[in-house]
Structure 1
Amino acid sequence: MDLRSAGLPMEAREGISSSPGDNDEYESLPPGASPLTHMMAGAVAGILEHTVMYPVDSVKTRMQSLQPDPKAQYRGVTEALKRIIRTEGLFTPLRGINVTMLGAGPAHALYFACYEKMKTTVGGMINHAGNSHVANGVAGSLATLLHDAVMNPAEVVKQRMQMYNSPYRSMLHCIQSVSRTEGIGAFYRSYSTQLFMNIPFQAIHFITYEFTQEQLNPQRQYHPGSHIVSGAIAGAVAAAATTPLDVCKTLLNTQENTVLSSVNISGHLSGMVNTFRTVYQLGGVAGFFRGVQARVIYQMPSTAIAWSVYEFFKYFLTKRNNPASSH
């Protein structure tokens, strides 16, 4: 899960003012930011978040696979990356990055625009101040529905191209093949699992972030370093804790024939209960934590990159469009 599941926006923006006596919070900085500004900033942040660490994401997908072929078994992130490059080619860890970029841009643009708008709207309805835990929670949930609706099909294509011995030659070939053989519904087979995963992720991320901030930034002043470190730690803890759901999501997305046939499943796997049962049958309890190391390594810098880039671009774009609003 990525930055959209974090409880950072409220806390990461508190405590800055342009001058003594100025009560503007970082949450409202820069003032008058338009939805387009949030969408542009969110799109750039989302693309960078998902692409900078993309090779590690490919390794995570491979390590989460329950593929019995010994050639698809990896001991660690570094060993996996080296072997993939040596045996399958230098650009193999980047397979599917194009569909990720196409999905991440609009998905994150919608997420941040919806989050900022709903946070203010719901917050104003609650306490007229536009800032509350409930407002952030409601806004985050609504924004996640939009984000995942756009990103889920991209995740399906991406993960199928990332798998060992993938039969798909390109993004378009994958889309056409899946549509023809499994129907359009295949692109949303893991949607409910994805949403279900974000609930505990967000809760764990927020609690861990709050605790870390108390240790690093007890005065809750605006301090980019502490927010980045806190976010990275919180993201790592939440990622590790929700790995079982991510493993199930990967299996739902990839529908590996070799894996399913090994447990006598004909057709396609569907439903969270069936997926949990299949993962346990193939890998036991340990199977739910396959790829946890790669997921944590991926999540930490991704969260830091996404949030810092988002805030920078939001400020830069608004400052350029409205110089008078610059603090």
Structure 2
Amino acid sequence: MSGPSPAPAASDGITPLQQMVASCSGAILTSLFVTPLDVVKIRLQAQENPFPKGKSFVYCNGLMDHICVCENGNTKAWYKAPSHFNGTMDAFVKIVRHEGIKALWSGLPPTLVMAVPATVIYFTCYDQLCAVLRVRMGDWAQEAPLLAGAIARVGSSTMISPLELIRTKLQSQKQSYRELTDCIRAAVQSEGWLSLWRGLGPTLLRDVPFSAMYWYNYEKSKSWLCERYNTKEPTLAVAFISGAVSGSIASTVTLPFDVVKTRRQLELGELQAKNLSYQVSSSTFSVMSRIVAQGGFGGLFAGFLPRLIRVVPACAVMISTYEFGKAFFRKHNQERLRGPLQTRNT
């Protein structure tokens, strides 16, 4: 998959199951690496602006965002700071000292339940689609990653969206699974099955352009670096650098849509916590208009640096782990094929 004309994933000896295992490993490693950064960020935010009861914030493990509602305020929340933090490193040290190292991964398990399958579907679909499109697009084969990335993101987001809705309801309201089932059944009866995909639009507006730009720039950067260092296969360093560069470009361009999605998540989460209905227009354009009216056009790029700090290492770790996993399976498959051939020749 390197060089000016990367070999299609479907023909380089890697099966879809092996692609799934490689992406699953990348998802788990990325979550383990990035979650502590977000835990520290939330603790620092809670210290500067205490979260009152019913207030929401967005938590991210590097692969996906999810909404958290403070039902008890700062006093009984898992992110309560045991003492004053004087910065990021000080927060790391004090959290580990007072609460143990496990506290850096607070909230990780429920997120992995969704993040891992979503990532597996996304990366496997991308590789399979890209291989097919490169063959079918002919002279436009170099643009295959752009289209494959967009389609793969639409597919994975659409499949995961009902689970996202269920998870948001579980986090925003203390409900038993039976109560949740009754709530979902009532919503389907009154509003139809499409109600399970509520909020998919803003997610796609952010994630589809991000995915298209990310994969296009990643493949370009990877090919250029492989040519420059005269290597046929992308090394761990090549994949890491390419993932970081492409992730930074994509996250910068799509930041306004990320701000809109976060605002909608927060507003909806707080209203759910207070058992209120959402009466204000929540279309992407109306939310953008409110943000511009409140803080000018700069408001659409709020959180630029924190987003880069979170997204860039996540992209780099995820793609380099994925490429390493595929290289491992490719070598393993070649050795398995070489064994019977050597036996026949002797």
Cα displacement (A) at 1:29: 9.1
Q: For 2:149 and 2:203, locate their aligned partners in 1 and report how far apart those are by CA, in whole Å.
A: 14
TM-score, normalising length from structure 1? 0.67
Matched, 1:146 2:155: yes
Cα displacement (A) at 1:157: 6.8
TM-score, normalising length from structure 2? 0.64
Work out which of the residue numbers 78, 88, 101 in structure 1 matches 2:88: 78
Q: Is the 8 A contact 1:110 1:147 kept in 2?
A: yes
Residue 71 of structure 1: SS of its match in structure 2?
A: coil
Q: Is the 8 A contact 1:228 1:308 kept in 2?
A: yes
Residue 12 of structure 2: SS of its match in structure 1?
A: coil
Q: CA RMSD in A?
A: 4.9
Amino acid at match of 1:115: Y
Q: Is the 8 A contact 1:201 1:238 kept in 2?
A: yes
Aligned-pair identity in percent equals: 23
Q: Is the 8 A contact 2:145 2:216 kept in 1?
A: no
Structure 1 residues 105, 256: closer, same or farther in 2, change over 3 A?
closer
Report which structure shows greater RCO (CA 8 Å, sep ≥6).
1
Cα displacement (A) at 1:115: 1.9
Q: How does 1:250-261 map to 2 (within 5 A)?
A: 250-254=262-266, 255-257=268-270
State the Cα deviation string for residues 53-107 of structure 1 (Å, max 9, x = none): 02434577899x9x9x942599998399679969x97777645422321112222
Q: For 1:115 and 1:278, locate their aligned partners in 2 and report how far apart those are by CA, in whole Å.
A: 35
Show the counterpart of 2:327: 315
- Where structure 1 has 5 or more consecutive residues not aligned to the other structure, the ranges are 1-12, 17-23
Matched, 1:14 2:14: no
- Please identify, of 264-273 and 296-305, the stretch whose mean Cα deviation from structure 2 is larger: 264-273
Matched, 1:136 2:145: yes
Matched, 1:37 2:18: yes
Residue 111 of structure 1: SS of its match in structure 2?
A: helix
Show the counterpart of 1:119: 130
Show the counterpart of 1:277: 289
Q: For 2:289 and 2:93, locate their aligned partners in 1 and report how far apart those are by CA, in whole Å.
A: 31
Q: For 1:247 and 1:173, locate their aligned partners in 2 and report how far apart those are by CA, in whole Å.
A: 34
Structure 1 residues 148, 155: closer, same or farther in 2, change over 3 A?
same
State the Cα deviation string for residues 135-192 of structure 1 (Å, max 9, x = none): 333322221122212444565677789xxxx755699699679858977867633322
Residue 228 of structure 2: SS of its match in structure 1?
A: coil
Q: For 2:127 and 2:217, locate their aligned partners in 1 and report how far apart those are by CA, in whole Å.
A: 23
Show the counterpart of 1:324: 336
Q: For 1:320 and 1:96, locate their aligned partners in 2 and report how far apart those are by CA, in whole Å.
A: 36
Structure 1 residues 170, 79: closer, same or farther in 2, change over 3 A?
farther
Q: Is the 8 A contact 1:46 1:108 kept in 2?
A: yes
- Please identify, of 239-248 and 313-322, the stretch whose mean Cα deviation from structure 2 is larger: 313-322
Show the counterpart of 2:72: none
Q: For 1:288 and 1:249, locate their aligned partners in 2 and report how far apart those are by CA, in whole Å.
A: 11
Q: Is the 8 A contact 1:280 1:287 kept in 2?
A: yes
Q: Is the 8 A contact 2:260 2:288 kept in 1?
A: yes
Q: How does 1:1-327 map to 2 (within 5 A)?
A: 13-15=1-3, 27-28=8-9, 31-57=12-38, 70-72=49-51, 78=88, 94-127=105-138, 132-153=141-162, 179=184, 188-202=197-211, 204-205=213-214, 219=228, 221-222=230-231, 223-224=234-235, 225-254=237-266, 255-257=268-270, 266-267=278-279, 270-320=282-332, 323-325=335-337
Q: Which is higher, the Rg of structure 1 or of structure 2?
A: 2
Structure 1 residues 300, 155: closer, same or farther in 2, change over 3 A?
farther
Cα displacement (A) at 1:246: 0.8
Cα displacement (A) at 1:38: 1.2
- Where structure 2 has 5 or more consecutive residues not aligned to the other structure, the ranges are 58-84, 339-346
Q: Is the 8 A contact 1:55 1:93 kept in 2?
A: yes
